[in-house]
Amino acid sequence: MRRPLAPPPLPTIEARLAWRGTLVCVVGASASSFAAQIAEPLRARGADVRTLRVELRHAEGASVEGERDAVLRCHPEALARELAALAPQNDGAITIGSGAALPVAVKPDLLVWISGGESVLGVDPALRALAGEAQLVLEDPREEAARALADALLRDRT
């Protein structure tokens, strides 16, 4: 039986990209589902919100699926170029991103680390560095936390 190929390591990016609007990055266990839970109440209130899941792959190049709920799959060397092409064009946009590669390439306004009960000492050093930057650490993300984050994001914008 063949084991699945491990994802490529996070790239080293000298200077993070600028991102217009508000960027919230969610990293760790259940990151993409928690990102969707944050986006849902924002959309219900009429905010210009999209989700962006970033996955690294070994194959060269990149592919993007969706617009409002986008998935970027790319080789680490293509990450910065592809994210620059996907960046919002207006300052009022809110992007709720997931995947550790996104905050490696772009400095988020808010970084949420979901530990899932795992010690930060047991993760890869690049992920450990990201965890050290997190403004919010959750062991088990709940819908109430997502709603509270959405409320805070809207409150900060007015």
Residue-range domain boundaries for the chain: 22-157
Q: What is the distance of C-alpha 26 from the center of its chain?
A: 5
Is 22-157 a CATH 3.40.50 domain? yes
Cβ distance 11 to 104 under 8 Å? yes
Per-residue pLDDT of the chain (158 residues; tens, 9 = 90+): 667 778 888 888 888 998 999 999 999 889 999 999 999 999 999 999 999 999 999 999 999 999 999 999 999 999 999 999 999 988 889 999 999 999 999 999 999 999 877 777 777 777 888 888 999 999 888 999 999 999 999 988 76
Helix (H/G/I), strand (E/B), else coil: 30: coil
